[in-house]
Chains A and B, each alone.
Chain A
Amino acid sequence: DSGVTQTPKHLITATGQRVTLRCSPRSGDLSVYWYQQSLDQGLQFLIQYYNGEERAKGNILERFSAQQFPDLHSELNLSSLELGDSALYFCASSVPPGTEAFFGQGTRLTVV
């Protein structure tokens, strides 16, 4: 158990809908990262928050957004969903800089 908790574990939704994925980082970790794992794109970094502020942005679509709350949990919002958004979404947390990231079990999103 990495100490990073993601909910829900599985999500099935229709195209055009909006979903929210939730992540609780390890106790004491200030940084939260979101990654997407898909068959065609592999594991890709989406976005990082540090203590409530956006720190780095990767290949995140404009339809996607994230935030980190004062209690340090984070949410990833995916809107206007398309079939191609079906993927495993991972959250990770760390105490930066120069330390490893610990990953949650992921949320498997299926868009039908």
Chain B
Amino acid sequence: AQSVTQPDIHITVSEGASLELRCNYSYGATPYLFWYVQSPGQGLQLLLKYFSGDTLVQGIKGFEAEFKRSQSSFNLRKPSVHWSDAAEYFCAVGHNNAGNMLTFGGGTRLMVKP
């Protein structure tokens, strides 16, 4: 069965530092991969997606992610974190044979130190 693992439940970084959030997936076919962000009391906002093609994808708010098939990973990165990036981040795999239903990881809560 498909699954998504986000190994880090909490991460704290200093403002201006670089960020990498890890995501590993298990899926039998070529996956559709997504990163979403959830601010407190808010819904889920799509940061970026990978369907095919270039394995390095750019998203909104300066985020990027790299799909590595050999490692079954889709890690999210940002070169310089801003205080407003503090939120919970979810990696998800989409089941393209089942109309795009998503399986989510457990989430990583990012805290930003001033």
Shortest 4 CB-CB distances between A and B: which pairs? A43-B104, A103-B44, A105-B43, A103-B43
Give me the interface of B with A, judged by CB distance under 8 Å. Answer: 32, 34, 36, 42-46, 49, 51, 90, 94-96, 98-107
B43 to A33, Cβ gap below 8 A? no
Interface size classification for chain A: 20 to 34
Give me the interface of A with B, judged by CB distance under 8 Å. Answer: 2, 4, 31, 33, 35, 42-45, 48, 50, 55-56, 58, 90, 92, 94, 96-106
Residues of chain A contacted by B43 (CB below 8 angstroms): 2, 4, 90, 103-106
Residues of chain B contacted by A50 (CB below 8 angstroms): 99
A111 to chain B, nearest CB (A): 19
A2-B45, A42-B107 are known contacts; what are 16 more A-B pairs with Cβ within 8 Å? A33-B100, A33-B101, A42-B106, A43-B90, A45-B103, A48-B99, A58-B101, A90-B43, A94-B100, A96-B99, A97-B99, A98-B96, A99-B100, A100-B34, A100-B100, A103-B43
Q: A42-B104, A42-B107, A43-B90 are in contact. Are A31 and B99 (CB under 8 A)?
A: yes
Complex Cα distance A43/B36, Å?
Answer: 12
Complex Cα distance A106/B32, Å?
Answer: 23
A34 to chain B, nearest CB (A): 10
Complex Cα distance A34/B1, Å?
Answer: 20
B46 to A56, Cβ gap below 8 A? no
Residues of chain B contacted by A96 (CB below 8 angstroms): 99-100
Chain B: CB-nearest residue to A46: B101
B46 to A97, Cβ gap below 8 A? no
A90 to B44, Cβ gap below 8 A? yes
